[in-house]
Amino acid sequence: MFRFKKRTFLLLATVVSCFFLTSCRYEEPAITHITNPDFFTTWVFTEEEAVCSQGSTYPSGSQEEHIELKTLINSSYEYTVNGELVQKGTFIALSEKITFSPPIFPNSIDINSTYVLTGPNLVITTTELLNSGSTETCTVKRKYSRKR
């Protein structure tokens, strides 16, 4: 009878231990496509801020241009400069990463950009080469406001 109790105890202890080990396991939250309806609109470029790794000044010519980024519910985009379509394609927005295909920013060294949607603003941050022949990188933040 003692053996029966010992085996029962060991079996019960094993089952309880397995339960605790599996219930405490960390699982990565599922990555989902963006569903926030505020994201799908026409965005107007408002400002650019760049910090380069060796202190160079990032060449910015976009301040004089009227740039719009239209993000559509079917995960497509249109990028216009001064009313002319420059680029169109698709995008994937997962968590805080966004990937444009084809890329909007030609000097970007990573296919993924990060984005933050805060109220009426969209900020897209990329890591880019200073220029096409350079090895110096810059972190470029582009701010867009919702078109009124």
Q: Give the whole-angstrom CA distance, residue 73 versus residue 69.
A: 13
pTM strictly above 0.75: no
Q: Of 65, 33, 93, which is closest to residue 101 (Cα–Cα)? A: 93
pLDDT at 124 (0 to 100) = 95
- Least confident among 14-23, 64-73, 109-118: 14-23
pLDDT at 22 (0 to 100) = 57
Mean pLDDT of the chain: 82
| pLDDT exceeds 80 at position 105 | yes
CA atoms within 13 Å, Cβ hemisphere of 13? 6
Range with the largest mean pLDDT of 22-31, 43-52, 53-62 = 43-52
| pLDDT exceeds 60 at position 74 | yes
pLDDT at 4 (0 to 100) = 54
| pLDDT exceeds 90 at position 86 | yes
The label of the residue with tokens 């719009």 reads 68
Q: Give the whole-angstrom CA distance, residue 65 versus residue 82.
A: 6
Q: 141 and 49 in contact (C-beta within 8 Å)?
A: yes
In sequence order, the β-bridge partners of residue 75 are none
Tokens representing 121 are 């603003």
| pLDDT exceeds 90 at position 38 | no
| pLDDT exceeds 70 at position 17 | no
